[in-house]
Amino acid sequence: MSPESLKLDIKNFSVECRSLQFLKYIKVRRVEARPDDAWYDMTLRQLRRGEVSFYSVKDFLTGEWLFKMCKDKEQGKILVKAVKCPVGIRFSQLEGRTMVFQQSNIEDMLYDVISLSQADENDKVSRDIVSSIEEVPAIIKENYTIKPYEEATGKKAPGKHLVTLCKRDNEKELVTLFVLERAWSLSKSTPEEKLEEKEQRIQKTKATKKEVDTGDVWLCPICGKKHRLVHVETEKTVKHALRKPRSE
């Protein structure tokens, strides 16, 4: 292997590791499941019934979200709708927006036509369908399967070029993709900057946190176990905690 190829492999590996690190800080959790509910499909212009779930998302880059997921088995598609968005004029324009995942030619795989949000100088948000792989953000390319629209669907459609493929039963992956496609490009900070801010806050908290052993021992009246009473002091708060006794 040539030195140039080795450098390229190391660089690609570094980018992939950083991408996985970013995803680690996007926390997706299902907060409610409704086996039978209803929603209005704007495309079909009719009321639909099926399974509905709600997901909360804590994204280190953009903030906290709440999504509604609607499964339409008859149509073979899943709708992911932003119900609650983070504070900000840009993100507020995504409230009520829906991403549609439809059945692809591959069994149990859903596709989404890749389109990215963008904001103009007045913070007005619009969406553009990507036409080449170079336009796709690295974090999507490195964590999702990307195929040409015709290959994934078996048909041609003007203006539709690339799609992502997701497993039907990986609902958290669908929700995460909404955040990556629709929200990340609207952030005024880069993921690297936000992650660095987060690390600095953690280090600052550790630096300002002080624990002092009071010397008192608390005995549980029920089980008889002993615990040390510790005085915990941070930059903003003072509290007390129980710790296991030191080994003698």
How confident is the model at residue 206, as a pLDDT? Answer: 64
State the Cα–Cα distance between residues 59 and 111, nearest whole angstrom. Answer: 23
193-229 pLDDT tens trace:
988 887 777 676 666 678 888 888 888 888 888 888 8
End-to-end CA distance of the chain: 57
- Over the stretch 49-100, which tens digit does the pLDDT of each residue have? 999 999 999 999 999 999 999 999 999 999 999 999 999 999 999 999 999 9
Distance, in Å, from the CA atom of 88 to the CA atom of 85, rounded to the nearest integer, reads: 9
What is the predicted pLDDT for the residue at 69?
A: 98
How many C-beta neighbours within 10 Å does residue 8 have? 12
Given this model, what pLDDT does residue 236 score?
77
Residue 169, Cα to own-chain centre: how many angstroms?
17
Task: Please determine, for residue 6, whether its predicted confidence score (pLDDT) is greater than 70.
Answer: no
Per-residue pLDDT at 2: 54
pLDDT value of position 220: 84
Query: Could you read off the pLDDT of 13-25 as tens digits, one per residue?
Result: 344 556 668 899 9
